[in-house]
Amino acid sequence: MQCPFCQHPNNRVLESRSAESGRSIRRRRECLKCNRRFTTYERIEYVPITVIKRNGDRESFDHSKILRGIARACEKTGIALPQMESVVDDIEAELQQRSHREVESSEIGELVLQHLQAISEVAYVRFASVYRQFRGIRDFAETLSHLQSKALDPDSADSDSQPAANILSMVESR
């Protein structure tokens, strides 16, 4: 980082602190040649994520599209919008941390499922039925048995878990 006054390339950092609600770091620097002080801001550079759809088409990661899918699955489950938004935020942050800028849409679907599973079984099954495009009762039964085996695991107790029969009736009436 060149000094803005004398263009000397070397300086020392006097102070570093979080700025813009944690989205950047502000550094106070002092030029090693002219001793004048200046400030730099360091921000994360967001490189767009490309989503590869099932049919091979590419589109950029669409926050609101994923949110809409989640909102549909969460209808009448009592899950608040901020909680749905934080699911999309978490997924986007997770994808941003990868070195690869392309992701298959099916993988995003699986990430959504992972998050929904922790929030609501009803939303999980509804989303799975759309994203995995259940080919019949067999696929559906597999998803339910996956949930049931999770329910038997005491380490993953879910406060709003519902019996599988309930989920079945809710999914059928959607």
**Location of structure tokens 């801001």:** 41
- How crowded is the C-beta side of 97, counted as CA atoms within 13 Å? 6
**Contact status: 108 vs Zn ion (CB under 5 A):** no
- Rounded to whole angstroms, the Cα distance separating 67 from 86 reads 10
**Contact status: 9 vs Zn ion (CB under 5 A):** no
Which residues does residue 28 pair with via DSSP β-bridges, in sequence order?
15, 39
Residue 132 burial (C-beta neighbours within 10 Å; 0-12, 13-18, 19+): middle
Residue from 1, 13, 14, 34 touching Zn ion (CB under 5 A): that is 34
**Contact status: 1 vs Zn ion (CB under 5 A):** no
The nearer residue to Zn ion, 12 or 138, going by C-beta atoms, is 12
**Contact status: 8 vs Zn ion (CB under 5 A):** yes
Residue from 1, 2, 5, 89 touching Zn ion (CB under 5 A): that is 5
Helix, strand or coil, per DSSP, at residue 46: coil
Q: Which stretch binds Zn ion (CB under 5 A): 23-31, 52-60, 63-71, 94-102?
A: 23-31
**Contact status: 141 vs Zn ion (CB under 5 A):** no
The nearer residue to Zn ion, 37 or 150, going by C-beta atoms, is 37
Q: Which two tokens stand for residue 55?
A: 């049919």
**Contact status: 32 vs Zn ion (CB under 5 A):** no
Q: Where are the alpha helices (DSSP H) in 97-136?
A: 105-119, 121-131
Give, in degrees to the nearest 5, the angle at Cα 112 between 110 and 115.
Answer: 110
The nearer residue to Zn ion, 32 or 44, going by C-beta atoms, is 32
β 102-104/50-52 pair status:
parallel
Shortest CB 36 distance to Zn ion, Å = 5
Residue from 6, 80, 93, 130 touching Zn ion (CB under 5 A): that is 6
Contact residues: Zn ion, CB under 5 A: 3, 5-6, 8, 31, 33-34
